[in-house]
Each structure stands twice: as structure tokens, then as C-alpha cells.
Amino acid sequence: MKKLLVEFLKTHFNSIVENWTAKVLHVFSAKLSDSQIRTFVESSINTFIEVIDGNDYRSADQYLIDIYTLFSKYSLNLLEISQLFSQARFSLLSEIEKEETSQFDPVILLGYLDGIIEQIFARYSMIHQDAKLKELEYDRDRLASKLEMNQEYLQNILHSSDSAIMIVDNNEKFISWNKGAERIFGYSEEEMIGKPSSFLLPEGQKYLEELNQIKENRRNKIFF
């Protein structure tokens, strides 16, 4: 069967190339040029022959890297790549139907070629997914680094400002206290972290009521 398959692909090489190229151009002419599609088709058929001859899908590795480089450059997704390979099946079927010899069963031949195409596409999908995961990891690390830099920048502004900047948590306790606050109020950061915000209030019921009103406005998201 292998010998017959290789002979079939070599004998009908040009017809398959023309048929497959025309089908792909009909769908992807806006993204890929005629020469790019033709090169892809020719290298695909040659790879099918190499895989059948050597019974080893590792011979397709360089081919897969080359087409991934091309397709990623033009942002083709996996569904589009699947369409490219699906057109191969229809092109091969057209040539099989023209074959008048009875030396092989067309159904068995097409089934065998289908298996090869599916295996090659599966290997392509693994390369594609692996590359996308690496891109996501790179973006995640880049964003994390940028966030860390922004946090450091804001921390520097917070601590070096001449204005008093204090941050309280949901329990109204200080969690940040800058140098400006130290100069204005006379308390160090070590002294104030963890203390309630009411610690800074002057004595008197009026000030306590004002603080309670501020807390209520914040809960109700009312700001002036």
C-alpha cells in the first residue's frame, strides 16, 4: 500500500497541486499570495511522500516549523489551518476518482491519506498551542513586571511627597503613612501603622460625629 500511495502522489503531483492551490486561493487569497499557497501545497505533498516512505512523522518537523512561521506571520488561526488541510482531502479525492486502474481500493487509499493529514495537522496544532502558551506566559510576565514597576513608582511618590498621605483599611486603621504625614503630625510610620484613624482627631463630640459622617458617606459612596 505504501508503495502505491507514493506512486499515486508522485504521478498526480502536478494535478493535486493545481487543484489544491485553486481551492485554497478561493478562500485565502486575501491573506496569502499565490506563490505562498503554491509553496505550501507543494511542500505538503512532498512531506506526505516522505512520511509514507519513512513511516516517521518526525520527517515533517521542519515542514511544520516553516508553515507555522508563515501562517503566524499572517495571523491564521487553527480553524483556518484546518480548512487548508481539508482542501487537501477534496483535491486528493478528485484525483482518486479520476484513477481508472483497479490496483487499489479508492476508499482505503483516501482513508490512509486522511490519517496522514490528520496526524500532521495534530502535530501542527501542538506547535501552535505551545507557541500561544509561551506568548501568554511572556505577556503575563511582562505585565507583572510592569505592575511591579508601577507599584514601586507609586510607593516612591507616596513616601516622598511633602503632603500628608495616609491610607486606611476597611477597619479604619492606618496601613500606610508617608514622610509628609510624619512632618505634619509628628508621628513616624512605625508609630501609626495599625492605629485607628480616630487617633488623629481632636477631642470633642463634634469631631467624632464628623468622622462617623465621613465613614457613612464612604459606605454609601457619597463624595464631595
If phi over 0 gives left and psi between -120 and 50 gives alpha, with beta otherwise, what is residue 77?
Answer: beta
CB 77 within 8 A of CB 91: no
Task: Give me the pLDDT at residue 223, please.
Answer: 47
Q: Do both 119 and 28 map to the same domain?
A: yes
Task: Give me the pLDDT at residue 178, please.
Answer: 86
pTM over 0.75: no
Q: Do both 19 and 94 map to the same domain?
A: yes
Q: What is the CATH number of the domain that holds 193?
A: 3.30.450.20
CA distances from 189 to 96, 139, 159, 172, 199 (A): 83, 36, 10, 16, 14
Q: Do both 133 and 167 map to the same domain?
A: no
∠ CA 156-161-163, rounded to 5° = 150
Distance between CA 124 and CA 79 in Å, rounded?
12
Task: Give me the pLDDT at residue 43, please.
Answer: 93
Q: Do both 114 and 82 map to the same domain?
A: yes
Q: What is the CATH number of the domain that holds 81?
A: 1.10.490.10
Q: Do both 83 and 136 map to the same domain?
A: yes
Helices within the chain (DSSP H only): 2-11, 13-28, 34-54, 61-73, 78-98, 106-160, 179-185, 189-192, 205-219
Look at residue 224 and tell me if it is in a domain. Answer: no
**Domain that residue 24 falls in:** 2-143
Domain count of the chain? 2
Task: Give me the pLDDT at residue 37, please.
Answer: 92
Mean pLDDT by 10 residues, the chain (224 residues): 82 91 90 92 92 83 89 89 88 78 69 85 86 76 76 72 80 85 87 85 73 71 52
CB 68 within 8 A of CB 131: yes
Residue of 25, 51, 26 lying closest to 36 (CA atoms): 25
Distance between CA 200 and CA 210 in Å, rounded?
13
Q: Do both 214 and 136 map to the same domain?
A: no
Q: Do both 176 and 86 map to the same domain?
A: no
Look at residue 104 and tell me if it is in a domain. Answer: yes
Q: Do both 110 and 177 map to the same domain?
A: no
Q: Do both 10 and 104 map to the same domain?
A: yes
Q: Do both 115 and 173 map to the same domain?
A: no
